[in-house]
Chains A and B, each alone.
Chain A
Amino acid sequence: MEKWYLMTTVVLIGLTVRWTVSLNSYSGAGKPPMFGDYEAQRHWQEITFNLPVKQWYFNSSDNNLQYWGLDYPPLTAYHSLLCAYVAKFINPDWIALHTSRGYESQAHKLFMRTTVLIADLLIYIPAVVLYCCCLKEISTKKKIANALCILLYPGLILIDYGHFQYNSVSLGFALWGVLGVSCDWDLLGSLAFCLAINYKQMELYHSLPFFCFLLGKCFKKGLKGKGFVLLVKLACTVVASFILCWLPFFTEGEQTLQVLRRLFPVDRGLFEDKVANIWCSFNVLLKIKDILPRHIQLIMSFCFTFLSLLPACIKLILQPSSKGFKFTLVSCALSFFLFSFQVHEKSILLVSLPVCLVLSDIPFMSTWFLLVSTFSMLPLLLKDELLMPSVVTTMAFFIACVTSFSIFEKTSEEELQLKSFSISVRTYLPCFTFLSRIIQYLFLISVITMVLLTLMTVTLDPPQKLPDLFSVLVCFVSCLNFLFFLVYFNIIIMWDSKNGRNQKKIS
């Protein structure tokens, strides 16, 4: 690639933005007794370093699970252990058992932020760069612009470098998985994806498309010949990588069960805090969380999730293509986010990642979605005092998208990938010609609402009777947007191949 230097500058810009955001506050800074995710990560270092593996997930006098008990899969625990060794080398106080609770200092913050940056630099950023280089049918310049936009996506930056988490690790592994699977290195891809699941169980949102895509590939090759071999190989890879990750916990059945109980805390309720999904938004009208018994909630959310992602998955098994795979990733993750049980507001990042991957296919809609996804985390970001970096990075991202894709000129039906859909609607409704204009108006309304709501949340005090008024409104508006996107992406997926066939006929 002759433009390597532009790619380097793009990566450097991404890194600079990440580091400048990391100078800001983190979740739970100076807020005893529970602090926030920053303390959780530090606490995990303390636990994994000082306790034997067998006690990591168990409640004990040394490991109070009520205080940020480990509830992520083993790979996170190993990562914490690795960081703890480095911390021990720099300052043992940071991870001393019991006494280090709520430890905060400038040097420690610097250390924690550096661990995020290094993990990001090793896993997520190379995956993004490689993904953009592997994109087909677009010019070098567009590839670089695409990388810039993905690296500037504010949601991930703000959560990882502001709020404090290691999402770039799990998302990075998932991205390596997508890369591998779409480049036909299926085994490597599934290995990377297994690592992602074993880092964060939320990656299961992406698992169905992976499963369906690989299964579809096997079917395509013929289940009696090559396809069967591939299937066996894939199964072996997955099982082997899981065994490898879980090895210390397989010694006793109780260990494995306890880890699983920690990973899937069914008793924590349908949703926590304010999430922009159906249940939380619906809760405004009807308190389903209190009315329905827990197991009914579980079944209900399962049914809704399953039904909403079924069509896209079936379609992917029947017609596996890497483009369809990316779109199915979006719609499945979105279904999970909207309908499933125990969703966090940060889980929207799992939808944002695949949306970033389709930025070059549907720039207008992807930019819109990514803006909404950042907006949906506004209450969380405000709580962490990240208003300034949020606004600035969002604007930077928007400008990057606008200049590199000139999104406002790409709103025709063709470029929204809605051509075949509107053609088939027009066979019944000949006057259906205003789709792209409607979408433009919707975009305008959506952006104006987001800006106004942000301004109101920041400047106005909520009425005393409704202290959560603005955050509920934010969730409600975002949820409406997400529902619209779910419909949109499902339409694209379902009408995709017809479009392809039509084109073939024409050519």
Chain B
Amino acid sequence: MAALTIAAGTGNWFSALALGVTLLKCLLIPTYHSTDFEVHRNWLAITHSLPISQWYYEATSEWTLDYPPFFAWFEYILSHVAKYFDQEMLNVHNLNYSSSRTLLFQRFSVIFTDTLFVYAVHECCKCIGGKKVGKELTEKPKFILSVLLLWNFGLLIVDHIHFQYNGFLFGLMLLSIARLFQKRHMEGAFLFAVLLHFKHIYLYVAPAYGVYLLRSYCFTANRPDGSIRWNSFSFVRFISLGLVVFLISALSLGPFLALNQLPQVFSRLFPFKRGLCHAYWAPNFWALYNALDKVLSVIGLKLKFLDPNKIPKASMKVQFQHTVLPSVTPWQRLYAQLIAILPSIFCLWFKPQGPRGFLRCLILCALSSFMFGWHVHEKAILLAILPMSLLSVGKAGDASVFLILTTTGHYSLFPLLFTAPELPIKILLMLLFTIYSISSLKTLFRKEKPLFNWMETFYLLGLGPLEVCCEFVFPLTSWKLKYPFIPLLLTSVYCALGITYAWFKLYVSVLIDPPIGKTKKQ
């Protein structure tokens, strides 16, 4: 109610946007929820009813606790609210329990914790100047940015339909980015360290943080040509940074170290035993690689280069076996990922461009990890999309990359929701976000060259027919039973093309971009 009166009193557009999307989230409560709903219910039960020494050992449900300790504590705190809603959901043996009160509690816990995300977006809007053109509110970069973040399609469907707690985690990340923009480096480092102990997927972007803080915070000055001045190294800053990170880690992992459970915790956090590919193909480089392998094997069969008896049966759910191209081990994927990240890190070190350069490097880290990572889930694309929104309102080139990345990335999330009642919602929300983002950014950069060339336009328009084929035409054909995975495969490969292209374009723009010092000289 308090928020309402604020919105009412000032006619404040930001509160209206935030409240509007919160209400939309409330409307999404009765929608379908995935097994992640049960995962989090189980974690509530584990943290509530078991002593801390058993958190990472408990295995009644197949959905064992596999997030870092802070998230477990988060669930522990939630569980103390949950007991007022329905005591039964806190029973470890109550598998797949979902009473209407449980549903309400879990959904509202996501909506409520999103407050942090809203606050972070508010802070980001303050520190991103963006391009100033129109006088009208709807043409201001701040307005566009807050819509892009608050109404983000991916976050809406992953958190509020599919069910996860990404909102407040991304809130922490955006807040730490905002703090770095505001030159409050210690706070930024603190927030990011906390974030890492909430969900370890953010390790993908940790190199960017590490290098940026070392280069631009621990070294207090640059030479005139922008290169590093070694004697400006500040030990005080370095040690205080290290102390913050160490203390946070001690707080999080300390209890488990004391219990001598650290190996068990780590084995849960990094389950190298799990299957190679995830249930679906994330739209990344390996999707293209696998598809190429498939095409080559089909051609090989047609031309009789291959022995049909040796070809494994095609299936999406099990581990993918390559027939023509060499198989890739997890370690090779890790190397590929590291190699892909390296140039952006070098760029951050040798051509420091302030927080904006850091942001680019962070996005490249996230995107490269997504492209080459092992066991990547398609949801991980949000890790690149959300920070990229901050860049998109600044420069026409970034906006173009952002739009391609976002549209294809969001489309690749479509297979997450496969039930009929949710079909209109995902299409409507996707159209809403895509039409808004493309048109508003086009309006923002209308005086510059067009955002897309003909090829990109053609590619993006192709998503429409692809959706029609996958969801409306394909179920009517006879292939539905024989090859049920074809829509997924098509979606994944088509989106992989777009995301790879966006990644490449962004990388090129970062590498070519001259450092600030040089441009000034020229």
Contacts and interface: CB of A to CB of B under 8 A. Distances in A.
A389 interface: yes
Q: What 3 A-B pairs are tightest by C-beta distance, nearest first?
A: A5-B439, A20-B27, A403-B16
Nearest to A14: B428
Interface in B1-54: 4, 7-9, 11-13, 16, 19-20, 23-24, 26-31
Contacts of A409: 11
B512 interface: no
Interface string A383-400: 000001100110110111
Interface stretch (B325-333, B429-437, B467-475): B429-437
A193 B148 CA distance: 42
Most buried by A among B9, B13, B432: B432
Nearest to B12: A403
B138 A12 contact: no
A278 B47 CA distance: 58
Contact of B435 (A9, A20, A408): A9
Interface stretch (B77-85, B299-307, B419-427): B419-427
A110 interface: yes
B248 to A, nearest CB: 38
A21 interface: yes
Interface in B421-472: 421, 424-425, 428-429, 431-432, 435-436, 439-440, 443
A54 interface: no
Given A24-B30, A403-B7, A406-B11, A12 B431 contact: yes
A23 B421 contact: yes
B416 to A, nearest CB: 17
B428 A110 contact: no
B136 interface: yes
Contacts of B24: 16-17, 20, 396
Given A12-B432, A15-B428, A399-B20, A20 B28 contact: yes
B436 A141 contact: no
Contact of B11 (A13, A17, A402): A402
Contacts of A5: 435-436, 439-440, 443
A99 B443 CA distance: 57
B425 A13 contact: no
B30 A23 contact: yes
Contacts of B20: 396, 399-400
Given A20-B31, A23-B31, A141-B136, A12 B428 contact: yes
B421 A9 contact: no
A396 B24 CA distance: 8
- Range of interface residues on A (Cβ < 8 Å): 20 to 34
A19 interface: yes
B436 A392 contact: no
B429 A399 contact: no
Contacts of A110: 420-421
Interface string A478-491: 00000000000000
Contact of A399 (B4, B425, B431): B4
Given A106-B421, A395-B23, 11 more contacts: A8-B439, A12-B431, A16-B428, A20-B28, A20-B31, A110-B420, A389-B27, A396-B20, A396-B23, A403-B7, A403-B16
Contacts of B431: 12
Interface residues of B, number: 33
Contacts of B19: 395, 399
Contacts of B30: 23-24
19 contacts: A5-B443, A6-B138, A9-B432, A13-B432, A19-B428, A20-B24, A20-B425, A106-B421, A393-B27, A395-B4, A395-B19, A395-B23, A399-B19, A399-B23, A402-B7, A403-B7, A403-B16, A408-B9, A409-B11
A403 B9 CA distance: 9
Contacts of B425: 16, 19-20
Interface in A399-415: 399-400, 402-403, 406, 408-409
B486 to A, nearest CB: 24
Contacts of B27: 17, 20-21, 389, 392-393
B438 to A, nearest CB: 8
Contact of B429 (A16, A106, A398): A16
Contacts of A388: 26, 29
A399 B7 contact: yes
A398 B19 CA distance: 11
Contacts of B23: 392-393, 395-396, 399
Contacts of A20: 24, 27-28, 31, 425
A446 B432 CA distance: 36
B250 to A, nearest CB: 43
Interface in A71-122: 106-107, 110, 117
Contacts of B435: 5, 8-9, 12
A223 B138 CA distance: 50
Given A20-B425, A388-B26, A392-B27, A9 B436 contact: yes
B445 to A, nearest CB: 14
A110 B425 CA distance: 13
Interface string A116-154: 010000000000000000000000010000000000000
Interface in A1-60: 3, 5-6, 8-9, 12-13, 15-17, 19-21, 23-24
Contacts of A3: 138
Contacts of B440: 5
A3 B446 CA distance: 13
B452 to A, nearest CB: 15
A399 B29 CA distance: 20
Of A24, A141, A402, most buried by chain B (CB within 10 Å of CB) is A402
A392 B136 CA distance: 29
A388 B30 CA distance: 10
A16 B16 contact: no
Contacts of B29: 388
Contacts of A399: 4, 7, 16, 19-20, 23
A138 to B, nearest CB: 15
A21 B421 CA distance: 11
Contacts of A9: 432, 435-436
Interface in B172-213: none
Given A9-B436, A20-B31, A392-B26, A403 B11 contact: yes
Interface in A197-220: none
A237 to B, nearest CB: 37
A151 to B, nearest CB: 13
Contacts of B138: 3, 6, 141
Which of B23, B24, B31: most chain A CB closer than 10 A? B23
Nearest to B419: A106
Nearest to A10: B432
Nearest to B420: A110
A13 B436 CA distance: 11
B8 A408 contact: yes
Nearest to B30: A23
Nearest to B442: A5
A409 B440 CA distance: 29
A106 B421 CA distance: 9
Nearest to A107: B420
A388 B27 CA distance: 8
A398 B432 CA distance: 21
A17 B24 CA distance: 7
Contacts of A398: 4
B23 to A, nearest CB: 5
A274 B349 CA distance: 73
A12 B19 CA distance: 18
A396 B7 CA distance: 12
A400 B15 CA distance: 11
B247 to A, nearest CB: 42
Contacts of B16: 399-400, 402-403
Contacts of A393: 23, 27
A227 to B, nearest CB: 45
A13 B435 CA distance: 12
Interface string B263-277: 000000000000000
A388 B107 CA distance: 13
